[in-house]
Amino acid sequence: MDTRLNRDELALLLTEGQNAIEAGAFDQALAAYSTITLLNPDHADALTMEGVVLLELGERQEAEQKFTLALESAPKHPVARFHRGVLRMRRGDKAGKDDLLVAVEGDPQLRTHAAQRAKALLSTPSAPCSPTTR
């Protein structure tokens, strides 16, 4: 029996999660994204957004794990790369810069805010790293 979510169910839960984030209801957002990843464990966008919510909740280690899982499914996912890169850089891990480079390479037209921020951070190495940018 296939328990994966269909396209409409995925879209509904992704929207629910985003709306919850915008309302500051992070527990509700986490529940929506966790439902997706429970049934679709390789859904890179949901894993990434789980990580973003976990960051908002102050759970950096768990957030980094979610970003890493997202990158196993989508190695150039710019949002996951950006956030993981910032987290790594904050703890002094030089691999963070590599993540930022891949975030820009994964979105060379800089369509996502994450790729824009990654490029800005790479251009000004002394700039503070803030992992709250999606």
Domains in the chain: ranges and CATH: 1-63 (1.25.40), 75-125 (no CATH)
DSSP assignments along 73-129, one per residue: HSTT-HHHHHHHHHHHHHTT-THHHHHHHHHHHHSTT--SHHHHHHHHHHH-TTSPP
**Count of CB atoms within 10 A of residue 106's CB?**
20
Q: What is the pLDDT of residues 23-49, one digit of tens each?
A: 999 999 999 999 999 999 999 999 999
- Assign 70 a pLDDT band (cuts: 50, 70, 90): very high
Kindly give, in sequence order, each residue whose CB lies less than 8 Å from that of residue 84, ignoring residues fewer than 6 positions away.
51, 64, 67, 68, 71, 96, 99
Q: Across the chain, what does the average pLDDT equal?
A: 90
- Assign 133 a pLDDT band (cuts: 50, 70, 90): very low
Kindly give, in sequence order, each residue whose CB lies less than 8 Å from that of residue 117, ignoring residues fewer than 6 positions away.
82, 133
pLDDT for res 126: 61
pLDDT for res 4: 83
Q: What angle do CA 47, 48, 53 make, to 5 degrees?
A: 95
- Mean local confidence (pLDDT), 78-104: 94
CA distances from 54 to 26, 29, 35, 108, 111 (A): 8, 10, 15, 27, 24
Q: What is the pLDDT of residues 113-131, one digit of tens each?
A: 999 999 999 997 565 454 5
Examine the pLDDT at 79 and tell me if it is beyond 90.
yes
